[in-house]
Amino acid sequence: MADEPKKPNKNKDAEAGAAKKSLLKLKKTIAQKEKEDDREKKMVTKELKEELKKNQGAQDDSGTRKSIHQLKKELLKQADEQQKGRVKTRRLLKEQLKKKK
């Protein structure tokens, strides 16, 4: 009886496989979110360039031309507000990933 090989624990193997799958899924999700963020940054840059082209001759309320710096500041502020929700989601996903390790 002592020489009989141990039977593999199928339950532990199944749990390990499920954990590995969920870990891969989380990694994939994080990578996808980061790609979306990169796209968003490119869009903000593109919008900034378009806005600058539109406002080269435009004047603000005080009658002076808007500076490039002001326009850039406004667009970056809008982009930051849009990103807040995505950053929070990405941070939560990373925390889940750490917990599963």
Average pLDDT estimate for 15-40? 88
Q: What is the pTM of this model?
A: 0.40
Which tokens in the block code for residue 13?
């193997």
With cut-offs at 50, 70 and 90, classify the pLDDT of residue 96: confident
Question: Please, are residues 65 and 58 in contact by the beta-carbon 8 Å criterion?
Answer: yes
With cut-offs at 50, 70 and 90, classify the pLDDT of residue 58: low
Q: How far is CA 100 from CA 60, 76, 90, in A?
A: 53, 35, 16
pLDDT at 4: 59
Q: For residue 49, give the nearest of 82, 67, 72, 65 by alpha carbon.
A: 72
d(CA 38, CA 46): 12
Q: What percentage of residues in the chain have a pLDDT greater than 90?
A: 9
More confident: 90 or 38: 38
pLDDT at 66: 63
Question: Please, are residues 26 and 96 in contact by the beta-carbon 8 Å criterion?
Answer: yes
Q: For residue 71, give the nearest of 50, 95, 86 by alpha carbon.
A: 50
For the chain, domain boundaries: 10-100
